Amino acid sequence: MSRASITLALLRPLIRAIDWVPLAVTVSISLCLAAGMEPGDPLEPGLGLLILRTSAILLGSAAAFALTDAMAPSSAAAAPVPRWLRQWERTLLAGAASALGWGLTSAIVVARLAPGATLGFPGTALEAAICLLAGPAAAAVAVRRYPGKPAALTGAFFLFTGWAAMQLTGPAAWAGPYGGQGNAALWWAAALVVALVVLAAAHRDVRR
């Protein structure tokens, strides 16, 4: 079988194997926040931005659960496909679901903004992309040694610790519309590359 055929054949069993509950819960929370905050009134840009950042952190944390497989150590030798392919496919499935959730949330937020208000969407989307990748990247490192669900909490811990640290730096560290420095977006773009490199390294086949 070709690599493409194997990838397609893996879709159904991986979709069934992934724990979708964390993502389903966080998507629901994100949509409720976007639709339910200040009902009946236009959203202020600051509140809309807070909703989108909160949504990105929650979804990035939830996407990390897609990478855990408690049976990985016992099934590695019998698996017909390499570990890196399984893990990348898990990552892409969870990434697509979390990106869709954030996209729907952002669509609601943008629709509820007062006329003429903006969120600086390119920078906000860049921040979200980092969160959606950083959570799984942190979990992917932990999963190499601890394949159970507790390893997925590494992603949430990393994201919330990073968020707390950035609150101390002020707006200059953010890539969104309230960033105080022009090069903030460059640092976030570099972080995006780092997250992809970490994923690539962590998804390598485990050597025994």
Higher pLDDT, 8 or 98: 98
According to the model, what pLDDT value does residue 181 have? 55
Structural tokens at position 181: 């420095």
Total domain count for the chain? 1
Query: CA-to-CA distance for 93 and 25, rounded, in angstroms?
Result: 16
Tell me the residue range of the domain where 27 lies.
3-202
Paired strand residues for 43: 113
According to the model, what pLDDT value does residue 180 have? 55
141 domain-assigned:
yes
CB 69 within 8 A of CB 150: no
Would you tell me how many other CB atoms lie within 10 Å of the CB of residue 88?
A: 17
**Please, which pLDDT band fits residue 58 given cuts at 50, 70 and 90?**
very high
Q: Could you tell me which of 88, 100, 83 has the C-alpha nearest to residue 24?
A: 100
According to the model, what pLDDT value does residue 13 have? 87
Q: What is the mean pLDDT of residues 89-107?
A: 96
Q: Helix or strand or coil: residue 79?
A: coil
207 domain-assigned:
no
Query: CA-to-CA distance for 32 and 166, rounded, in angstroms?
Result: 25
According to the model, what pLDDT value does residue 72 have? 58
162 domain-assigned:
yes
Residues whose CB is less than 8 angstroms from the CB of residue 147 and which lie 6 or more positions away in sequence, other chains included: 68, 69, 70, 71, 72, 73
Higher pLDDT, 167 or 85: 85
Query: CA-to-CA distance for 54 and 33, rounded, in angstroms?
Result: 9
Structural tokens at position 178: 């309230």
Query: CA-to-CA distance for 57 and 130, rounded, in angstroms?
Result: 9
Instruction: State how far Cα 2 lies from the chain centre.
Output: 30
- pLDDT (tens digit per residue) in 119-131: 888 889 999 999 9
134 domain-assigned:
yes
208 domain-assigned:
no
Query: CA-to-CA distance for 15 and 66, rounded, in angstroms?
Result: 9
Higher pLDDT, 146 or 200: 200
